[in-house]
């Protein structure tokens, strides 16, 4: 499935079924725009999308801006869930697993997986992490066992070791179970996409690991910063 997203396409090509792709980054870095573009790509090819929106960031108006045709023909291909709590999010992923057994479902998106998680982490650390682990296991089954494309996003925190490295909310669990990790960063009015991880089935190393692409977010999508002017 094509990304409809030039900077991400430069890094990994098309989104692949059977893999969880995690896109993480700070505020306004392009996570939700990436998810909307992926939804459009799938829907316009008649694939059904399950879009789990935990931040109320899904916007039909933004979809209309991004798409060059009649968006009304595509909206029916996007099944939107908007869980208000972490427990509701867990239930939505379980429901997505059952729905994904249908062949028409091609893409499952969770934007973002870490929003409700970080709000309840201090309530019962062990229980919350257990639920997060099961949720990631369900998403892995959707991708690996059912052959779907799975895209999740997450916010980040900054390490305190002096490196200012971005760390995924959800930590090592998300980093381990995601076959592809893409870091987005917005700082000083510049945006970058970086391929952090790409795990092939035979454990070969992707040639673009560590590659960074500077990009801009415009009305019609995400584009390389140095693209020629129209």
Q: pLDDT tens digits, residue range 80-101?
A: 999 999 999 999 999 999 999 9
* Vertex 173 angle, CA 33 and 217, to 5°: 15
pTM score of the predicted model: 0.92
Q: Which residue do the tokens 């009015």 mark?
A: 189
3-state secondary structure of 6: helix
Identify the pLDDT of residue 24: 94
Identify the pLDDT of residue 230: 44
CATH architecture type of domain 6-224: 3-Layer(aba) Sandwich (3.40)
DSSP 8-state assignment for residue 16: -
* pLDDT tens per residue across span 144-164: 999 999 999 998 876 545 555
How many residues are recorded in the chain? 230
Across 112-123, average pLDDT: 87
User: Cα separation of 215 and 23, whole Å?
Assistant: 15
From 12, 31, 13, select the one nearest 23 (Cα to Cα): 31
Domain ranges of the chain: 6-224
Quick one: three-class SS letters along 107-150?
A: EEEEECCCHHHHHHCCCCHHHHHHHHHHHHHHHHHHHHHCCCEE
User: Cα separation of 178 and 229, whole Å?
Assistant: 35
Q: Beta strand 221-224 with 212-218: parallel, antiparallel or unpaired?
A: antiparallel
* pLDDT tens per residue across span 187-210: 999 999 999 999 887 777 789 999
């Amino acid at each position: 499935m094509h990304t409809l997203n030039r900077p991400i396409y430069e890094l990994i090509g098309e989104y692949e079924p059977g893999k969880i792709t995690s896109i993480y980054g700070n505020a306004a870095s392009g996570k939700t725009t990436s998810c909307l573009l992926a939804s459009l790509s799938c829907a316009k090819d008649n694939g059904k999308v399950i879009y789990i929106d935990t931040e109320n960031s899904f916007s039909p108006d933004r979809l209309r801006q991004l798409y060059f045709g009649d968006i009304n023909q595509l909206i029916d291909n996007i099944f939107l869930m908007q869980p208000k709590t972490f427990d509701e999010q867990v239930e939505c992923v379980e429901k997505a697993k059952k729905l994904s057994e249908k062949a028409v479902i091609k893409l499952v998106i969770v934007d973002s997986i870490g929003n409700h998680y970080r709000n309840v982490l201090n309530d019962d650390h062990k229980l919350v992490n257990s639920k997060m682990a099961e949720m990631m296991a369900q998403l892995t089954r959707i991708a690996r066992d059912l052959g779907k494309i799975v895209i999740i996003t997450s916010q980040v925190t900054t390490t305190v070791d002096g490196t200012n490295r971005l760390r995924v909310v959800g930590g090592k669990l998300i980093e381990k179970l995601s076959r592809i990790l893409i870091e987005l960063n917005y700082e000083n009015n510049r945006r970058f996409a970086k391929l952090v991880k790409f795990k092939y089935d035979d454990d070969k190393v992707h040639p673009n690991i560590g590659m960074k692409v500077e990009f801009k977010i415009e009305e019609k999508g995400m584009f390389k910063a140095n693209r020629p002017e129209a």
